[in-house]
């Protein structure tokens, strides 16, 4: 099987398998700016990768729920390799690169979706599952149910009513393990977004709190993918299933190599804000695929707007999960001085600036936490997840503000008490001992 690789709709390379290697061969007329990946510039010799598909091409392959749907819907078209999966979904993925079967032009006509209706509808699991199947033929990574869709053209809304700025979005749903994920992610993202210190992906929550519609940042004003997007996992040469393996130091070293010198300090601060937010809101899912670069050329490489901020501690299944990436050799929510030391030594952010950033985020968490509580008063179904979100933020503020746990830094205590929230439930713990098979007889 041979695939055509396109950059901004221009065919620039061939991708195929040769014995035990995958090969990317640029065409003779490929220009230097037609590079497929920052790590694979245009050259005469082919690029080769042993055994598995190049990490760049694996970064947007479907995972989990969506992958299972695609296997059910398009099983006869798959031969069990990532190359055949890429041939099926690579024509309409994230970023400026499109991959198609040889001789096929990129671009899949996606039936428009009424976004405003989706935001107001009752989004049951069955309805969302049907939508995922309908829009399954797109390359979106991640394990939660989500898909790419095109918004229908809407007439001009009356002045003062919010409208979506682009017509392409990533739409994310909830599942049994993460109920009301739209509500959770919307307000968690808001903790950083309201400070207006770094770009944050724009998003909107459905009225029932189950769906999150995120504006894509890789498209231009016409909805055409025009930005390259590469996550740190791929830049490190790792497959997606090893996204938790790198350290934060390795992630920074892998990304900084491509950031222009004049942008370096601003991007240090960008990464700093993203890392600190995860500690405040207790997001254990910031892995190397959730830290990414985007660009139109090698001269404007920068971190993408921050995305996928979720208060994972709000869900029992993930309540005891540590941070996704270690810092200073530690993977804990109580990093002590190691986090501050990382900011100073690696990101060139002095202690005074670090302390100011922490306080800004904590103050924002208090403001948004009160919004979360107020919203849960209007919709009782959100009360449980709201309660655990604000408890998690309280924990995050307490441990980040002080090397030792200090209750005086729990900025939402009074609001939690006034709302009548009880304490958080105990995390779920597996009864299965690590390394012990469930098939063995009981002692």
Collapse the DSSP code of 356 into the 3-class scheme (helix H, G, I; strand E, B; otherwise coil) and give the result. Answer: helix
Cα→Cα distances 298→34, 37, 228, 353, Å: 11, 10, 10, 30
pLDDT, averaged across the chain: 85
The encoded tokens of residue 341 equal 């030391």
**Which residues fall within 8 angstroms of residue 328, CB to CB, at 6 or more apart?**
249, 335, 338, 339, 341, 342
Give the DSSP per-residue string, 132-164: HHHT-SSB---SSSEEEEEBPP-PPPPTTS---
Please tell me the distance from the alpha carbon of residue 338 to that of residue 73, in angstroms, as a whole number. Answer: 48
Tokens 């390795």 identify what position? 250
Q: How confident is residue 325, by pLDDT bands cut at 50, 70 and 90?
A: very high
Q: Are 95 and 218 in contact (CB under 8 A)?
A: yes
pTM of the complete model: 0.85
Give yes or no for residue 164 having a pLDDT over 50.
no
Tens digits of residue pLDDT in 56-65? 999 888 776 6
- Residues 284, 289, 291, 296, Cα dihedral to 10°: -160
Burial degree of 97 (CB within 10 A; 0-12, 13-18, 19+):
buried
Least confident of 147-151, 178-182, 224-228: 147-151
* DSSP-H helix ranges across 9-124: 55-58, 64-74, 82-89, 115-120
Q: What is the pLDDT of residues 365-377, one digit of tens each?
A: 999 999 999 999 9
Each residue's pLDDT tens digit, 298-323? 999 999 999 999 999 999 989 999 99
pLDDT-based confidence at residue 439 (cuts at 50, 70, 90): very low
Write out pLDDT tens, residues 209-268: 888 999 999 988 888 889 999 999 999 999 988 999 999 999 999 999 999 999 999 999
Nearest residue to 146 (alpha-carbon basis) of 229, 227, 224, 63: 63
């Amino acid at each position: 099987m041979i695939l055509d690789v396109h950059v901004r709709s221009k065919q620039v390379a061939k991708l195929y398998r040769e014995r035990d290697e995958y090969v990317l061969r640029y065409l003779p007329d490929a220009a230097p700016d037609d590079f497929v990946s920052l790590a694979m510039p245009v050259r005469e010799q082919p690029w080769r990768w042993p055994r598995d598909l190049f990490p760049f091409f694996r970064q947007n392959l479907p995972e989990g729920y969506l992958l299972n749907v695609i296997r059910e819907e398009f099983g006869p078209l798959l031969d069990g390799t990532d190359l055949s999966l890429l041939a099926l979904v690579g024509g309409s993925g994230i970023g400026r690169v499109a991959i198609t079967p040889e001789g096929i032009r990129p671009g899949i006509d996606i039936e428009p979706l009424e976004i405003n209706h989706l935001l107001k509808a009752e989004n049951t699991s069955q309805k969302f599952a049907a939508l995922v199947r309908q829009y399954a033929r797109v390359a979106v990574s991640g394990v939660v149910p989500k898909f790419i869709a095109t918004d229908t053209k809407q007439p001009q809304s009356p002045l003062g009513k919010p409208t979506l700025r682009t017509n392409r979005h990533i739409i994310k749903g909830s599942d049994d393990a993460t109920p009301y994920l739209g509500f959770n992610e919307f307000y968690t993202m808001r903790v950083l977004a309201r400070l207006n210190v770094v770009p944050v992906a724009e998003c909107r929550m459905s009225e029932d709190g189950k769906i999150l519609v995120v504006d894509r940042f890789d498209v231009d004003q016409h909805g055409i993918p025009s930005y390259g997007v590469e996550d740190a996992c791929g830049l490190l040469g790792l497959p997606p299933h090893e996204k938790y393996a790198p350290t934060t130091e390795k992630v920074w070293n892998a990304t900084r190599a491509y950031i222009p010198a004049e942008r370096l300090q601003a991007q240090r601060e960008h990464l700093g804000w993203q890392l600190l937010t995860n500690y405040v809101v207790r997001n254990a899912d910031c892995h190397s695929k959730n830290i990414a670069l985007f660009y139109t050329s090698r001269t404007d490489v920068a971190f993408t707007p921050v995305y996928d901020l979720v208060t994972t501690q709000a869900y029992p299944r993930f309540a005891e999960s540590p941070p996704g990436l270690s810092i200073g050799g530690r993977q804990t929510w109580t990093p002590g001085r190691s986090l501050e030391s990382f900011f100073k030594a690696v990101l060139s952010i002095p202690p005074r600036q670090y302390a100011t950033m922490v306080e800004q985020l904590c103050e924002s968490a208090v403001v948004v936490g009160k919004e979360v509580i107020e919203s849960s008063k209007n919709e009782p179904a959100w009360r449980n997840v709201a309660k655990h979100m604000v408890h998690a933020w309280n924990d995050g503020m307490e441990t980040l503000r002080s090397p030792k746990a200090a209750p005086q830094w729990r900025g939402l205590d009074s609001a939690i008490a006034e709302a009548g929230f009880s304490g958080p439930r105990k995390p779920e713990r597996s009864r299965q001992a690590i390394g012990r098979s469930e098939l063995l007889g009981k002692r």
